[in-house]
Amino acid sequence: MIALVLTGTSLDENITLIKQNKSYIDLVELRIDLLSPEEQKKAYTFPSLTPLPVILTCRRKIDGGAFTESEKLRLTLLEETIKGNFAYIDIEEDIKKSTLLQKAIDKGIEIIRSFHDFTSIPTDLYHRITKIAAKGSIPKIAVTPNSILDVIHLFRIEQELKHIEKKIIIGMGPFGVPTRILYKRLGSMLTFTSVNEIAPGQISAKNMKTLYRGDKVNERTHIYGIIGNPVLHTRSPYIQNPGFDGIKFNAIYIPFLVDNVRSFFVLAEMLPLYGFSVTVPHKQAVLPYLGKITREVKQIGACNTVVRAKNLWMGTNTDYYGFISPLISLIQEGKIQSALVIGAGGAARSVVWALRNHGCKVTIINRDIEKAKSLANLTMSSYDSLNNASHYEHLNLIVQTTSVGMEGDNEGDPIPNFTFKKEHHVYELIYTPQYTPMLQRASLSNATLYYGIDMLYRQGKLQFENFTGYHYPKRLEINLELEKN
């Protein structure tokens, strides 16, 4: 089931939220700690206002809620509210036997006993789940993984505690996002969504239902993903998941925040994953774990696509082709003969090799000049300090491969002293935002612009072919263009 956490301060606001999300959800959680005092008095009527099952919750501040009054008042409020026809009531695991629990049992309301840890995962996690279930309640465990190893620990719950049929397992925070989407793989009976992120890592009901189709995941679903750090900003799920749906392929593509590549490959075997995209900073770190690589990966020394091939992992690089395809004819016509590449990281390696292999002269500039020198020596290019960018205004193509200017860095311009001209071709690899400060400045000179979002879609469609063996559905390409605009 997909549950929507209702965050309104009034019953009417919450009914509106249900109407807006009714096609995406199976039940709702009424958080009476978020209601105004006057609305709390009427909360018992809420189940009669919606046909959906309702979970009743009044969360204490220490558990991430908004209720700050005494515990006695909280339990009294819950007792008054369960006069309504609620399907579930969520009570913390440390609440002892009370008249509230007995009244809930007498009314046939199922009891969820919850435990929250907003900093880590307790070492006795499995014991806590087993103990709650033994008392006849539904265990709800909301904990915070801080590494991929923690995520592995959560995904093992279904295997270790398969005998507990009804349970709710939630990994909060950035590392926990895959556990929310793949909740069925944890044996969880439901996942929580919200319009406003009321708990760390929650996503919208619409995305859960239509983008990820998390409720459709079963034992035959092929899992794909993207690994990086950071990674939750990625637009790749908006390419891959509609593509899977377009060819009726039972698969899901989700983001994995990864701190340790070696640990991720353990998770990839356990779930299992059938393939994944690789973004910064892991494009080189994955190489030792691949049994086979393409010519481009060997040459570039960086991989952005990994697929399962027989009994090994195979690495390819679609960045190479996604980047160079709109430039090939211009290079062949002689309109682009020289390029200035900003940055010397994994993305720059793909860019420089693609340009060099097509006969374009390249100068690499970077803040760390030793990194620029290393890449230049490898690719038979020139190099210089980032501070000397203005010395290369005579070059045809300027390619920006760093994270400077990414969303949240609106002031970032890697080459503020560089003067753009109408004759320049300016290529930005960042795709969020589409117009970085550098591109905005280049557009004032009427330079020809190339956007990171276009490269993302080109390389993403190539990844789709690697993952599925099919071309990306033609009819969906129009939707991708509309989304970009």
* Catalytic residue IDs: 283
* Among the listed residues 146, 143, 147, 181, the one whose alpha carbon sits nearest the alpha carbon of residue 271: 181
Alpha carbons 332 and 326: distance in angstroms, whole number: 11
In what order do the strands lie in the sheet containing 191-194?
168-171, 138-143, 110-116, 88-92, 54-57, 27-31, 2-6, 191-194
Residue ranges of E strands in 40-79: 54-57
44, two tokens: 């018992």
Element (H, E) at 125: helix 125-134
Are 143 and 122 in contact by the 8 Å Cβ rule? The answer is yes
Three-point CA angle 39, 45, 48, nearest 5°: 140
Partner residues linked to 314 by β-bridges: 292, 307
- State the Rg of the chain over Cα: 26
Q: Is 422 exposed, middle or buried (0-12, 13-18, 19+ CB in 10 A)?
A: exposed
Are 442 and 426 in contact by the 8 Å Cβ rule? The answer is yes
Are 110 and 85 in contact by the 8 Å Cβ rule? The answer is no
The amino acid sitting at 151 is: V
Question: Looking up tokens 């996002």, which residue turns up?
Answer: 177
Are 114 and 132 in contact by the 8 Å Cβ rule? The answer is no
Side-chain-facing half-sphere of 469: CA atoms under 13 Å: 4
Alpha carbons 395 and 338: distance in angstroms, whole number: 5
